[in-house]
Amino acid sequence: MNTHLHITSWVLAFILFAVVLILNKSGKTKGATIVQMILRLDYLLILFSGGQLLFAYFGNAMMGEAIFKGLAGIWAILAMEMISLKSGREEPLKGWWIQLIIAVLLTLILGFGRLPFGFLP
Ligand code: HEM
């Protein structure tokens, strides 16, 4: 199971996402673009490790919930990407922030609260 890679990669994503926002806020859009590229590579790690975790659910009773967890995770990634992009262009962000909060809450509740592959061994 790849829970450690999964958690490490999304924690890293939150950090990189914050860095992108801070750089864009302070007008350093070039720096923000570079960090955004690293963030996109990190999305692949999240998807890969999440996909691997999801694979382990195929055929068992919690498969539906695990698929829903994966969709919520993809939604969270999408919202982060949209906010990163729009923060560089000073476009309105409120709707995407609301979506990000809902998607992250869903992933955390389903990931930690409901599904059984705990963080602890
Ligand atoms: C920002 C995006 C994401 C966040 C914050 C997130 C968060 C989490 C958390 C907190 C866990 C529980 C780890 C544990 O119990 O130790 C988890 C597990 C999991 N994640 Fe994600 N995840 C994200 C993206 C994804 C994506 C994109 C997929 C699918 C492609 C996915 C699929 C899974 C699966 C199948 C598990 C196993 C559930 C379990 O048994 O606990 N996740 N994730």
What confidence tier does 118 reach under pLDDT thresholds 50, 70, 90?
A: low
64 vs 84: CA distance, rounded Å:
30
Residue 4 confidence (pLDDT) above 90: no
CB of 110 shorter than 6 A to ligand 1? no
DSSP states of the chain: --HHHHHHHHHHHHHHHHHHHHHHHTT-HHHHHHHHHHHHHHHHHHHHHHHHHHHTTTTSTTHHHHHHHHHHHHHHHHHHHHHHHHHHHT---HHHHHHHHHHHHHHHIIIIIISS--S--
Residue 3 confidence (pLDDT) above 50: yes
CB of 73 shorter than 6 A to ligand 1? yes
- Report pLDDT digits (tens) over 21-59: 999 999 999 999 999 999 999 999 999 999 999 998 888
Most confident of 12-16, 66-70, 111-115: 12-16
| Residue showing tokens 């996909």 | 51
| Residue showing tokens 């939604």 | 75
Q: 68 C-alpha to center of ligand 1: Å?
A: 10
- Report pLDDT digits (tens) over 61-106: 888 889 999 999 999 999 999 999 999 887 899 999 999 999 999 9
CB of 102 shorter than 6 A to ligand 1? no
What confidence tier does 120 reach under pLDDT thresholds 50, 70, 90?
A: very low
